[in-house]
Homo-oligomer: A and B are copies of this chain.
Amino acid sequence: MSTNVYVAGVGSTKFGVLPGRNLQGLAAEAARAALVDSNIPSARIGCVFVGNFVGGIMTGQELLGPIVAADLGLSNVAAIKIEAACASSSAAARIGHDLIRAGAEDAVLVIGVERLTGAPRDALTSAMTAAIDQGTEGVAGLTFPGFWGMVMARHMHLYGTTREQVAAVTVKNRKFGVGNPLAQFQKLVTPDEVLASPPISDPIRRYDCCPATDGAAALVLTNETLAKQYGSPAVRIAASVLINGPARITDYDEITTHDGTVRAAIRAYEIAGVGPEDIDVAELHDCFSVAEIVDSEDLGFFAKGEGGPAVAGAPSARNSKVVINPSGGLLSKGHPTGATGCGQIYEVVMQLRGRHPNQVPNARFGLTHNGGGTAAAVTVHILETSR
């Protein structure tokens, strides 16, 4: 009795430093673009899910669901905010997907939005730690550069991953960013520049870190009937998975393997009936350069310890055809936390439509991976072209 679920429309603002814009305005801009792109009348939308992480802390604004719905002229919807830290809007996509798949809704508007710039740097660092349990590791002083610094040091120790291999992630994603007009950073960096950038949380340096970003992205999800009726340029969601992982470092057996990602990937491949070898293009959660390496291993693209050599171009490590983060990733496109998940799906949809500025030739299967907290909330989406 379940229907296929399609991404009928996508929309996005520019990602970057967007002074003078508020959450409502950014969200509405992306949503309007997605509605137009979908060709589906907005009266068919049953739910508006706004993925957002720190809108309350950073801007004092909550209740984004009804406010944005009103701005869009939608007066008869179930409108809520969904929060799962940096995985907020992909988590919202998962709930929308499930409602449509089971037949509870015909069309759902999923929006991700965040404003992170314009605040003092310590306010931002403090806001981000809202995704760390303040009752335990938060009060102990843990931050995300701290967490990922430990992950990077441990990955180098366990697998012999080199500083240069990790820097290759930034170099690659900066190159992709140059080609993506939505990207925050459109400037190349050299390996030497990464290695010489100021230390942040040893061994992480500044160019290993994604920037603070403002932006919004939106998706119109729908069922087979409406996708056909309105002839929208649909991409099918072959799998939509949200799963929880360890919410504290102390719950990890080994911090270089992210249990939530591993389990989400296994389930997503099973649902979609494909394996990592079938994925042509992937947008991964490279909040720090080493994260892309860890993710690429946990998602099965490379064996554990082979992610570093693979990104640095080692032929033997390449047991996958996947192109990773042709959007520029979080490192170059930027990381407007609550918007990132929808932004990743936006990018993969454009790839599967054959309309991406950094097009992967003949892309058929795309994957997105989005994580919140210490990989405490993980989503994996597998998308398939309907062309």
* Chain A interface residues toward B at CB < 8 A: 1, 22, 24-25, 48, 53-57, 59-67, 69-70, 74-85, 88, 91-92, 94-95, 98-99, 101-105, 126-127, 129-135, 138, 242-248, 251, 263, 372-373, 376-377
Contact = CB atoms under 8 A, between A and B. Distances in A.
B59 A56 contact: no
Given A66-B376, A131-B62, A376-B70, A242 B95 contact: no
A177 to B, nearest CB: 28
**Main SS of the interface on chain A?**
mixed
Contact of A25 (B24, B132, B135): B135
A85 B98 contact: no
B129 A60 contact: yes
Contact of A70 (B92, B99, B251): B251
A76 B263 contact: yes
A88 B63 CA distance: 9
Contacts of A62: 53-54, 57, 83, 85, 130-131
A243 B94 contact: no
A244 B91 contact: no
A152 to B, nearest CB: 22
B98 A134 contact: no
A305 to B, nearest CB: 25
A135 B85 contact: no
A216 B150 CA distance: 35
Given A56-B57, A60-B138, 17 more contacts: A1-B1, A24-B133, A25-B135, A53-B62, A63-B376, A66-B372, A70-B247, A77-B243, A79-B84, A80-B84, A80-B242, A80-B377, A98-B99, A98-B105, A99-B99, A102-B103, A104-B104
